[in-house]
Structure 1
Amino acid sequence: MTQVNTTADPATLQALLDELPSNLLAGRRVLVTGAARGLGLAFAKCIAKAGASVVLADILTDLAQVEAQALREDGFTAHALTVDLSDPASIAEGAADAVKLLGGLDGLVNNAAITNSGGRDAHALEIDMWDRVMDVNVRGTWLMSRACQPALAESGRGAIVNLASDTALWGAPNLLAYASSKGAVISMTRSLSREWGGDGITVNAVAPGLTLVEATEYVPMARHQKYLEGRSLPREQQAVDVCGAVLFALSGLSRFMTGQLLAVNGGFVMH
């Protein structure tokens, strides 16, 4: 049996950053939610390295400021904003501030989400917890997309990338609220792609598998092992493994792709 190493490897992300072309997203302006750490931070770093100006939005204000400052010290254009996806007023203000800071908006990565329903079956899951997950993961994604839509339409090349999860594709047990919320995000992606396609906005989703980031540190070893043994590519998934799909969906390379779901999980689920 292959053993799981649940420690993320920062060197893998740095290797990708070193190889990225600096013009893939040249001149673009991108807002990333949940960007203070984990997947969101990896996306923000890759987006900046690919030539875009980026706003790191997160409820973890101090950490987002530190990471944005680090990007600026490396010569990139980066800002940090406080956004609470459970608060509609905070979302509206954050979107407006991002557009003001960047002078417009070409891309939105709806990455922020919570997973605190893990380990409970359908009977043990509290109603308040279900509502909290839906408020952040579903309503927050909708409201942030809606708040950014006018600026994305004005840009003429607007792209939204919604982070789903392969848990919604294989029906992960004891993760009902989270998996259901990500299923809703997939459906939302398709509906918004039809509503906003006439504005030149693409809306796509990326569904990672179990990824080694801070948010998955609580995941039992048995679940890690299930993924490791079930993947066509039998290794742990790093944040860097998801970055390419996000960059592609933000770039002009995907300008005629919309309403699609890219499953990035090493072949654990083939979609």
Structure 2
Amino acid sequence: MSHLLVDKRIVISGAARGLGLSFATACAKQGAEVVMLDILEDEVCNQANLLKEQGLKASAWQIDLADVESIQSTVESLVTQNDQIDGLINCGALATGVGGKNMMEYDEDLWDRVMQVNVKGTWLLSKALMPYLKACKAGKIVNIASDTALWGAPNLMAYTASKGAIIAMTRSMARELGEDNICVNCIAPGLTIVEATAYVPQQRHDHYVNGRALNRKQYPEDIDGTAVYLLSDLASFVTGQNIPVNGGFVFN
């Protein structure tokens, strides 16, 4: 089978670790040039170099999704070299350290920080890249939500609310951008074994495994295929959809 993303340039936020890194690797292996963004500059550069050592096409840039000037300057820098942008995966998000408190225990600063990075950052990065996605005549945006927004995970309200907003934003973006032939979709993963979920209590991990139709842990590579499909020409008539990829913990 031929590679699905040959000659495509895909931007991925949150690409230094976890899901974002897995998406970047999968896209690169499918023939894409991946543009890896993360606030962790050294780490994302190291990961891009590892991909290049495998003969894959990758570059890395530092970005702070909580800072509009950082978003704008990063986009301006990466498009000066090549203004073709075919796809965007909005994976960058604040997850570590945002759980374990109920709604009465959350403080406003944490709530605002989560919304600023997860929701506003997704909007601003999409907005900054929009001229280039429109120019390619068949742009694709894949937003990463969470199935916590579908079942209402307790003691995780700020994160859950932010991911619910991502699902709603996806639908609005799909309506607004359809006239430019841009497809906008969303993936809602379940609890996945990555660095950001290392703090999650074992009881929550067990709750997921036992509640899935497929009774096992979820790993980043379980989600890669859906992301690649949504970025490819195979999904040229799919837009505005939220796809839970969680082993059947939540049915859509």
Regarding TM over 0.5, the answer is yes
1:82-101 correspondence to structure 2 within 5 Å: 82-101=62-81
Mapping of 1:45-64 within 5 angstroms? 45-64=25-44
5 Å-filtered alignment, 1:1-271, equals 23-115=3-95, 116-271=97-252
Change (3 A) 1:219 1:113: same
What is the CA distance between 1:119 and its match in structure 2? 0.2
CA distance in 2, matches of 1:22, 1:189: 29
Structure 1 CA distance, aligned partners of 2:99 and 2:79? 35
Shift of 1:22: 5.4
8 Å Cα contact 2:83/2:132 also seen in 1: no
Structure 2: distance between partners of 1:112 and 1:42 = 13
Secondary structure at the residue paired with 2:142? strand
Q: Distance in 1 between matches of 2:218 and 2:82?
A: 32
Per-residue deviation, residues 166-209 of structure 1 (Å, max 9, x unmatched)? 00000000000000000000000000111111111110000000
Q: Could you state the TM-score of these two structures normalised by the residue count of structure 2?
A: 0.98
Tell me how far apart the structure 2 counterparts of residues 157 and 68 of structure 1 sit (CA, whole Å).
Answer: 26
SS of the aligned residue for 1:39 comes to: helix
Q: Which moved more, 1:65-74 or 1:177-186?
A: 65-74
Letter in 2 for 1:241: D
Q: Distance in 1 between matches of 2:79 and 2:27?
A: 17
Q: TM-score, normalised by structure 1?
A: 0.91
The answer on whether the counterparts of 2:63 and 2:74 sit within 8 Å (CA) in structure 1 is: yes
Instruction: Give a deviation string over 1:22-69, Cα, whole Å, max 9, x none.
Output: 520000000000000100000000000000101110000001110111
SS of structure 2 residue aligned to 1:262: strand
1:242 and 1:264 in contact (8 A); partners too: yes
Aligned length: 251
CA distance in 2, matches of 1:151, 1:60: 25
How far apart in 2 are the matches of 1:163 and 1:22? Answer: 26
The SS at the match of 2:37 is: strand
- Code of the residue aligned with 2:248 in structure 1: it is G
Q: Which whole-Å CA distance do the structure 1 matches of 2:176 and 2:79 have between them?
A: 22
CA distance in 2, matches of 1:155, 1:92: 20
Is this contact kept in 2: 1:117–1:129, CA < 8 A? yes
Q: CA deviation at 1:93?
A: 1.5
Return the letter of the residue paired with 1:71: L
- Following the alignment from structure 1 to structure 2, what is the Cα–Cα distance between the partners of residues 249 and 99? 23
How far apart, CA to CA, are the structure 2 residues paired with 1:60 and 1:122? 30
Q: Measure the CA separation in 2 of the matches of 1:118 and 1:171.
A: 13
**Structure 2 unpaired stretches of 5+:** none
